[in-house]
Amino acid sequence: MRTIRYRRASEDWLDGLPLGNGRTGAMVVTGDDGVRLQLNDGTAWSGSPASEHRRGQADAVDAAAARAEARRLFDSGQAVAAEVALQTLQARYAQAYLPLADVQIRHAPSVEVERMLDLEDAVHTATAGAVRHETFVSTPDGVLVHQFVSPKPTDVTVVATSPLRPLAHGWDGHRLQLLLALPADVAPGHEPFEPAIRWHVDGVVPVQAAVVAGVVHDGVVEVADAAEGGPVENRRVRVRFSSVRRLRLVLATATTFTAVGREPHLDVQAAAEQAGSVVTAALACDAGTLRARHVAAHRELFDRVGLRLGPQDDPAAEIVDPDQRVAALAAGSGADATADPPLLETLFDYGRYLLISSSRPGGLPATLQGLWNEQMQPPWSSAYTLNINTEMNYWAAGPLGLPETEDPLLELVEALAENGESTAARLYGARGWTAHHNTDAWVFTSPTSGDAAWSQWPMGGAWLVCQLDRRRRFGAADAQWLRRIWPLARGAAAFVLDLLEPDDDGHLVSFPSTSPENHYATPGGPAAITVGSGMDRALAAELFSIVVALSEDSGQDGDPVAAEARQARARLRPPVIDPDGTLREWHAGAQQAEPEHRHLSHLVFAYPGTAELDDELAAAVGRTLDARGDDSTGWSLAWKLALRARLREPARFASLLRYLIRPVTGQAAHAGGLYPNLFAAHPPFQIDGNLGYTAAVCEALVQGHRGHIDLLPGWPEDLGDGSVRGLIAEPGITVGFDWRDGIPVTVTLRALSARQAGPRVVRHRGTSRNIEIPENRHVTVEWSSAGVHTCKQGDR
């Protein structure tokens, strides 16, 4: 499926449809009298690098004393008191990703409204009666383009507003401009004793922003006015045009943001000039050229993968009123999501679209909400949560063959490593670098304030490196990438090595340690602090293996940290199966306080990790998932789907879909579902549910981590026939195949490079084929007959 269409107007923001180029985002909210373009800029963040320590920081002496006291208290059975002692290490909170502005294009209302998002072209179209609106956000030209067309002369009003503080607003007869000041501090909602927004904080120089829009039209300007201050609704530019048949609005955003973790510059006029020059260049092109360049750039990424579910002779490429289809599935007998394969296909394509739109080279990584946010105090600051959500946003990049979407994440991690060196030394007396639960555009690396369950988790750097290494695992890491990731992996490993200490059995364990964001029961109440949590051990094991492999690939065989990592890897306790058959999450004897908790942290070794799962260990992962229960928040459901696929359990994969694909009802805690625009719910909205679902589908279709290529290992037979092309299997094999009745028919393979060429084993259930994959050639296998033929590059 490629197109999502609604035969009605949008009801609210979560019923709008998203556009983005990795830097400028727009939620298109369609009314009966026009459209609202709610704008975001990926660099629009509150605060500055000075925000993290504006209230001071613990020094090395106090931090060491706090850790020692916490360990003493924990060893004496006072885990809750140990967590209080560790509060000395905490800073306050990360800063928030913010909305930028709204632009509305209004006209006379109509009762007949339709709107459509073309996922393949990344173009939004809306009609209100005979009036037509078309909107896209271009990557090549860096602009949002909105085209208004009417068959008869029409009055049109363009209104630009912002929730930010106005510095200057204006209209010069051809273009409008907003100059805006962002707040110096925005507290997350879980800090109720903090002011929600501060516009001034001593020592913090916040970002300023510019929105510039050029307007070309065939009508007459009737009224133009700008209001500088007062209530939010008066901070606007309003221009009314009469007798308009065609109007083109070309918009660019710019801010004083300079780079991740760096101080903003102080010249908002320079930002305005930058945005203005981009608009001028775009206006010099005709609309068709702008659109063609935009579509070509988007399709270059989007067309790499294709999935078709259902009858292969069905040419339909549009899904109509998907929210109604979601509701119908939920209301149906057994709520079986496999009853609507086209909807599942659409959600897969939607996840690909959202990743491409929210994370592109030159921008920042996708946040908790991707590129889209309309709230001044967004949930969890719409920032980066490193204990699962940021990594999940990028799980699909490898199998989808979209390595460039990870470039912003690499840049963030490089900045975190630089900032996290002082945090590692000061708080832990350790080498290398660390990051904790939350971060932001200013690379916050300290533990945040609040519950130790989320705060006192120092393994953020380790998991980020494990995520970045997926680029190597999926065959897309070039020499430059290896040079950049090596110091990050080495530094993260050095920190973890210094965090580890031997236990009574001689195994290496970490302290302080948690299993984010879960608790176990103690006589003093729920606690999170432990020694050597299951997640810490799994991440350390994978990180050390990565460092050893990278040292060999990068010509660093004699590196002392790699040598330490190799030795320490052998001293880490492997996953422990408790007497009840589930995997141990904390220390021995710890009892669950929340048996159905949404986090699956101690299963990270099974997915996205690549640990070898023998029958006993696989059974323990399955029993642990059973104990957690099926229903949960959106991103947790996506993780459970991926784990069931990894376990090769198609029936359980299918049963989980019913919880992910259902309407969101109210704001029930930790119950997922889909909003009317198909955004996944925590609730509230978090994009990791969408992106994680796409990664889980990839995992169900193709796996390569075991050293062979496994076809349909977790795919439900109830979904019927289908075809897929362009998926990447580890260690870098492009895979395409169609299947009938759950059995492959024709399989096409190609190595990404000479390094991946050679003999490969391809399996489906009990059938294996030994396939020789040459360089620069496709190999096609007729699965039932094992017939093989080789195609030249570009042949089918």
Query: What is the rounded average pLDDT of the residues 12-27?
Result: 98
Query: What is the rounded average pLDDT of the residues 408-430?
Result: 98
pLDDT digits (tens, 9 = 90+) for 564-604: 999 999 999 999 999 999 999 999 999 999 999 999 999 99
At 104 the pLDDT is 98
667 band by pLDDT with thresholds 50, 70 and 90: low
Instruction: Check whether 796 has a pLDDT greater than 50.
Output: no
At 602 the pLDDT is 97
Percent of the chain whose predicted confidence (pLDDT) is above 90 = 90
The domains found in the chain, sorted by start residue, are 3-46+98-302 (2.70.98.50), 60-94+370-615 (1.50.10.10), 709-792 (2.60.40.1180)
Measuring CA to CA, which residue among 223, 201, 239 is closest to residue 46?
201
Query: What is the rounded average pLDDT of the residues 398-423?
Result: 98
Measuring CA to CA, which residue among 412, 416, 462, 395 is closest to residue 638?
395
pLDDT digits (tens, 9 = 90+) for 513-531: 999 999 999 999 999 999 9
At 225 the pLDDT is 79
pLDDT digits (tens, 9 = 90+) for 184-196: 999 999 898 899 9
Q: Would residue 498 be called left, alpha or beta, if left means φ above 0 and alpha means ψ between -120 and 50 degrees?
A: alpha
The strand pair at 197-198 and 208-217 is best described as: unpaired
Kindly report the pTM of this predicted structure.
0.96
User: Rounded CA gap, 135 and 250, in Å?
Assistant: 10
* Contact assessment for residue 535 and residue 459, using Cβ atoms and an 8 Å cutoff: yes
711 band by pLDDT with thresholds 50, 70 and 90: very high
pLDDT digits (tens, 9 = 90+) for 332-390: 754 678 889 999 999 999 999 999 999 999 999 999 999 999 999 999 999 999 999 99
792 band by pLDDT with thresholds 50, 70 and 90: low
pLDDT digits (tens, 9 = 90+) for 103-134: 999 999 999 999 999 999 999 999 999 999 99
233 band by pLDDT with thresholds 50, 70 and 90: very low
Residue 111 CB burial class (10 angstroms; 0-12, 13-18, ≥19)? exposed
User: Rounded CA gap, 271 and 290, in Å?
Assistant: 23
Percent of the chain whose predicted confidence (pLDDT) is above 70 = 96
At 312 the pLDDT is 59
Query: What is the rounded average pLDDT of the residues 244-248?
Result: 97
Query: What is the rounded average pLDDT of the residues 737-754?
Result: 95
pLDDT digits (tens, 9 = 90+) for 540-567: 999 999 999 999 887 788 899 999 999 9
DSSP secondary structure of 35-79: EEEEEEETT-BSS-GGGTTTT----HHHHHHHHHHHHHHHHTT-H
SS3 570: coil
331 band by pLDDT with thresholds 50, 70 and 90: confident
- Give the DSSP H or E segment for 471: helix 470-473
Query: What is the rounded average pLDDT of the residues 434-445?
Result: 98
